[in-house]
Amino acid sequence: MQERQKYSSGAKWEKIVGYSRAVKVGLRIYVTGTTATNENSEIVGVGDAYSQTVQTIKNIEKALNALDATLENVVRTRMFVTDISRWEEFGKAHGEFFGEIMPATTMVEVSKLIDPRMLIEIEADAEL
């Protein structure tokens, strides 16, 4: 079995639910559903779809960096949004980070996230 490296962001939900922000196995990194929270688990950009997407991607980037990767290693993202009619706001921020990388990407609407102030949650898979 390959070695498993785990990264914790310290978000309050990690210990409650029992998950890691990211897990590296071999040459793959799986970043769990990530939201627009700061280091104190406070939501950044309440009501602002663009700002929440930017913060979420920065959180993903931090997890990747901790496991010796960058956004350039991302091959797939999955965006779960609470209002698909705001797709252009979410998409604009995603494009600013991934426009040159062009990972496979999905955006789907969900009824709600763990906190009603959260507008987006993103998962990412990376290959080294």
Work out the end-to-end distance of the chain between its first and last CA atoms, rounded to an integer number of angstroms. Answer: 18
Rg of the chain over all Cα atoms, to the nearest angstrom: 14
Q: Which residues of the chain have pLDDT under 70?
A: none
Q: pLDDT at position 57, please?
A: 98
Q: pLDDT at position 78, please?
A: 98
- The CA distances from residue 98 to 8, 24, 101, 126, in Å, are 23, 21, 5, 13
Pick the CATH number of 4-127 from 1.20.58.1690, 3.90.1300.10, 3.30.1330.40, 3.40.50.300: 3.30.1330.40
Q: pLDDT at position 10, please?
A: 87
Interhelix angle 49-66/87-98, rounded to 10 degrees, is 30
- The pLDDT tens digits of the residues spanning 39-67 come to 888 999 999 999 999 999 999 999 999 99
What are the boundaries of each domain within the chain?
A: 4-127
